């Protein structure tokens, strides 16, 4: 596996995501994926499984320092005092005195962005967070975040899969020296029946999931999150660094994007998307 370098951070290109994963599944899967060779684990306050992630890492036999750990502050904790308290709570649950990357989970206009970014910088300066970033931000919010922050913004975690064109966001990130972390890579399962993806997979002797994850990590500055509750699928998802998609195959997958391809856009949280 290669690492993606972004504004001073070195982030494993494939991470294991824990969104909508139950505590027992997290306790089972986190040690397993770390033993398989994953070194990037992604969670969030709102997922309700930080404690299990922390326990899973502790039980894995892999040193904490060898794991790139990401969590996200929920929107109700953006006021400075709440933010600082919530980060300490997250660290306690995660059984660590720092996280490698802390993100603002969604935009929240109820709290000034300057206060949010200020709190991110405060915990980073205190050594509780090594790197900071955002999630689900549009270009305007991303640009303003960079302007307000002393510490570099290293990633924007957004929805990316074959049916959504995120080229504008990718270009903005690259210009700012940032990475983009892709979630919802399997488009809620829609990719598995796609004939284009199945055909490409057949050519390489790979599954559709492997093709999609390879398409992501083969793009400059892109980190992919994979999620599964199956040990065999987790091993399969990791086996994407022994083949390469051709330029024509990459273009064919990009060509699947459509104007209505976005899946995740919750009312009250989503910004005006680019």
- Which of 209, 196, 201 is CA-nearest to residue 251? 196
235, part of any domain:
yes
| 184 in catalytic set | no
DSSP class of residue 246 equals -
Could you report the per-residue pLDDT of 146-197, keeping only the tens digit for each? 999 999 999 999 999 999 999 999 999 999 999 999 999 999 999 999 999 9
Q: How far apart are CA 151 and CA 133, in angstroms?
A: 10
268, part of any domain:
no
Could you report the per-residue pLDDT of 82-109, keeping only the tens digit for each? 999 999 999 999 999 999 999 999 999 9
273, part of any domain:
no
Report the percent of the chain where pLDDT is more than 70: 100
Q: What is the pLDDT of residue 180?
A: 98
Q: What is the pLDDT of residue 135?
A: 98
Q: What is the pLDDT of residue 6?
A: 97
Q: How far apart are CA 252 and CA 196, in angstroms?
A: 8
Task: Strands of the chain (E only): list them.
Answer: 3-6, 9-12, 14-17, 40-42, 68-73, 99-104, 129-135, 153-159, 179-183, 222-226
pTM of the model: 0.97
144, part of any domain:
yes
Q: How far apart are CA 125 and CA 65, in angstroms?
A: 19
172, part of any domain:
yes
Range of the domain at 74: 3-254
Distance of CA 226 to the CA centre of its chain: 9
DSSP class of residue 150 equals S
Catalytic position from the list 47, 78, 163, 183:
47
Q: What is the pLDDT of residue 73?
A: 98
Contact 105, 73 (CB under 8 A): yes
Q: What is the pLDDT of residue 253?
A: 98
SS3 81: helix
270, part of any domain:
no
Question: Concatenated DSSP letters for 16-30?
Answer: EE-TT--HHHHHHHH
Q: What is the pLDDT of residue 268?
A: 94
For the chain, which residues score pLDDT lower than 70?
Answer: none
117: tokens are 């970014």
Distance of CA 158 to the CA centre of its chain: 7
200, part of any domain:
yes
Gyration radius of the chain's alpha carbons: 18
The CATH number of whichever domain residue 83 belongs to comes to 3.20.20.100
Distance of CA 86 to the CA centre of its chain: 20
263, part of any domain:
no
Q: What are phi and psi of 84, to 5 degrees?
A: -65, -40
Contact 104, 87 (CB under 8 A): no
Q: What is the pLDDT of residue 48?
A: 97
Pairing of strands 3-6, 9-12: antiparallel
Q: What is the pLDDT of residue 271?
A: 97
Place of tokens 């990475």: 179
Domain count across the chain: 1
Contact 16, 62 (CB under 8 A): no
Report the percent of the chain where pLDDT is more than 90: 100
């Amino acid at each position: 596996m290669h690492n993606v370098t972004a504004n001073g951070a070195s982030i494993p290109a494939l991470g294991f995501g824990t969104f909508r994963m139950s505590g027992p599944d997290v306790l089972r899967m986190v040690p397993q994926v770390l033993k398989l060779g994953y070194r990037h684990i992604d969670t969030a306050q709102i997922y309700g499984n930080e404690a299990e992630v922390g326990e899973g890492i502790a039980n894995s036999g892999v040193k904490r320092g060898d794991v790139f750990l990401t969590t996200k502050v929920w929107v109700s904790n953006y006021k400075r005092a709440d933010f600082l308290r919530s980060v300490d709570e997250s660290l306690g649950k995660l059984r660590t005195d720092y996280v490698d990357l802390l993100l603002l989970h969604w935009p929240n206009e109820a709290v000034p962005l300057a206060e949010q970014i200020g709190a991110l910088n405060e915990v980073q300066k205190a050594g509780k967070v090594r790197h900071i970033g955002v999630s689900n931000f549009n270009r305007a919010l991303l640009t303003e975040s960079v302007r307000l922050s002393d510490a570099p913004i290293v990633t924007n975690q957004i929805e990316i899969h074959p049916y959504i064109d995120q080229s504008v966001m990718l270009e903005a990130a690259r210009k700012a020296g940032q990475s983009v972390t892709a979630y919802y890579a399997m488009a809620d399962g829609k990719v598995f029946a796609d004939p284009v993806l199945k055909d490409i997979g057949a050519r390489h002797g790979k599954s559709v999931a492997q093709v999609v994850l390879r398409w992501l990590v083969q793009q400059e500055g892109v980190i992919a999150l994979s999620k599964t509750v199956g040990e065999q699928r987790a091993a399969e998802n990791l086996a994407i660094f022994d083949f390469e998609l051709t330029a024509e195959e990459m273009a064919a997958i990009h060509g699947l994007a459509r104007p209505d391809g976005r899946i995740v856009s919750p009312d009250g949280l989503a910004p005006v998307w680019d």
